[in-house]
Amino acid sequence: MSKALYRKYRSKSLDEIVGQEHITAILKRAIEQDKVAHAYLLTGPRGVGKTSIARILAHALNNLPYNEESQHLDIIEIDAASNNSVEDVRDLREKVQIAPVSAKRKVYIIDEVHMLSKQAFNALLKTLEEPPEHIVFILATTNADKLPATIISRVQRFNFRIINEHDTIKHLKAIAKKENISIEDDALRLIATHGKGSFRDSIGLLDQMQHVSDGAVTRDMVAAILGLADDQQITDLLQAYSTGDLAAIVALLNSAADSGTPAHVIAEQLIRTIRHSIATQPQFLPLLDDLLDVPKSAWPEIKLLTALTKQTPQQPQPSTPHQAPVAESPKPEKPKAEAPKLAATKPAVKPDSVSSAPKEPVTPAKVKRAGPSVPFDWVAFSEAVKPKAAGAFIILKACGYDFDGTVLTIYAGKKFSKVKLEKALPALNEVLDDLGMVAEIMISETAKPPEDATTAAILDMMGGGEELRGPAE
């Protein structure tokens, strides 16, 4: 059975390590001067050489030749993910007291050390504080933030960098040449890009690609294996975003989904494209910020869609100074209020303002609309409900509403909430009276309809849903 390329081409000495010269130079000097620390901490992203350097260092400290296929009795590797209990560390503390079998030092390599339990860290701390002379610990982790400060303060820490694309491409090209893999430079560049600074991931993808074609491996082949969207689709998406073309954005995303391209992959492609052109196209900066949240979302498809449609026009634009204003019929001026008040308050009637003509009594059904949008203090209304009907108050916090000056429509969103609010109607009406309002309350089982065409189109495309609003909306 053939060996995987990332194992076959794993570094065998500190001189062969690529991209971490700031670490290997210090370690080589320490070994030459025999200035060895009792504990090292190797931190950084996965696939950048932490384990390789740990093994090479363990052998170099003992002047032993490094061979991945053989194991030495005085070099012990421990996986903290499966040996993370306090009992495991106590067992280790007992074994470190035993002298090396044949080497100068006994070296313990603890991989993913951040997986140790709190009690295990406390037990390990005692050994790190007063280690035997013949013991060296090499701790490796991808998440140093989870290590206690007491552990970090007792080790020499080395921070690994991600491998830049230039070094990755150079390394991949050398491996491809040795393995007789015919591959285009553009294909190597795409592999390096999607390796995201990890040699292991990049070499693993190269290993996969050598079985794809009898001829040269092309960029299109790599893109197909990675499940990427077509470059033209990415360009078209950015163009549609620039012009606010909602229909084009939806069509392009649907096409990519039909081709099997996940939303987070499209987001990554958009990020890379924007990053390379941001100096000449700074208008994409707001989009870049939103795209970074797509992979973190529980619904990446919706997050991507809303990111791309965030800047689309939702309402007709106001007239510019060069446009002739549209003639409108005169509207009565609204009286200026001294302070924000709830709409439709009961007016105070002065004796001299009463006409001699008889008037019908005012009822909720006959209150005329004050205009297309009547101010209403929903927060004040909800807070006033709280002492009268606490259960209804809790439900109201999740409801939408509309008030047209005559009818207060409460959108419950579901049948259960509607039933509960209907039972609390006497309390709700009492609150309206207390606030000096004359209006009828209607309770709807549905959620409040979207207020703009863009949101409505998005929800329609997603098969329905509810527009999320803040508590005061």
**Residue-number span of the structural domain to which 380 is assigned:** 363-454
Rounded to an integer, what distance in angstroms lies between the CA atom of residue 358 and that of residue 88?
94
Rounded to an integer, what distance in angstroms lies between the CA atom of residue 129 and that of residue 113?
17
Is 29 inside any structural domain?
yes
Is 314 inside any structural domain?
no
Write down the pLDDT at residue 56. Answer: 92
> Are 267 and 191 within one domain?
no
Helical packing angle, 300-309 and 453-461, nearest 10°:
150
> Are 373 and 291 within one domain?
no
CA atoms within 13 A on the CB side of 315: 5
Rounded to an integer, what distance in angstroms lies between the CA atom of residue 320 and that of residue 272?
36
Q: What is the CATH number of the domain that holds 397?
A: 3.30.70
Write down the pLDDT at residue 349. Answer: 43
Is 392 inside any structural domain?
yes
**Three-state DSSP class for 66?**
coil
> Are 236 and 271 within one domain?
yes
Rounded to an integer, what distance in angstroms lies between the CA atom of residue 107 and that of residue 62?
9
Is 345 inside any structural domain?
no
Q: What is the CATH number of the domain that holds 194?
A: 1.10.8.60
Average pLDDT per consecutive 10 residues, the chain (473 residues; last block may be shorter): 78 86 91 90 89 91 83 87 79 84 90 87 85 90 90 92 88 91 91 87 89 83 88 91 89 89 91 86 86 88 89 46 41 46 43 42 36 68 88 87 88 87 90 85 84 55 50 44
Write down the pLDDT at residue 459. Answer: 54
> Are 32 and 135 within one domain?
yes
Considering 107, 126, 159, which residue would you say is the last residue of a domain? 159
> Are 72 and 211 within one domain?
no
Is 323 inside any structural domain?
no
CA distances from 64 to 12, 70, 75, 104, 421 (A): 12, 11, 11, 10, 78
Write down the pLDDT at residue 460. Answer: 53
Rounded to an integer, what distance in angstroms lies between the CA atom of residue 144 and that of residue 250?
41
> Are 283 and 260 within one domain?
yes
> Are 140 and 279 within one domain?
no
Looking only at the bridges linking them, the beta strands covering 75-79 and 156-159 are unpaired
> Are 12 and 120 within one domain?
yes
Is 237 inside any structural domain?
yes
Look at the chain and report how many structural domains it folds into.
Answer: 4
* 8 A C-beta contact, residue 451 and residue 467: yes
> Are 192 and 250 within one domain?
no
* 8 A C-beta contact, residue 272 and residue 280: no
> Are 154 and 171 within one domain?
no
> Are 121 and 184 within one domain?
no
Q: What share of the chain is helix, strand, coil (3-state, %, to 5)?
A: 45, 10, 45
Is 446 inside any structural domain?
yes
Is 123 inside any structural domain?
yes
User: 268: Cβ–Cβ under 8 A, 6 or more apart, which residues?
Assistant: 295
Q: What is the CATH number of the domain that holds 16?
A: 3.40.50.300
> Are 133 and 258 within one domain?
no
CA atoms within 13 A on the CB side of 38: 15
Nearest residue to 22 via CA among 49, 62, 60: 49
H-assigned helices in 244-284: 246-258, 263-277
Alpha-carbon 388 to chain mean position: 42
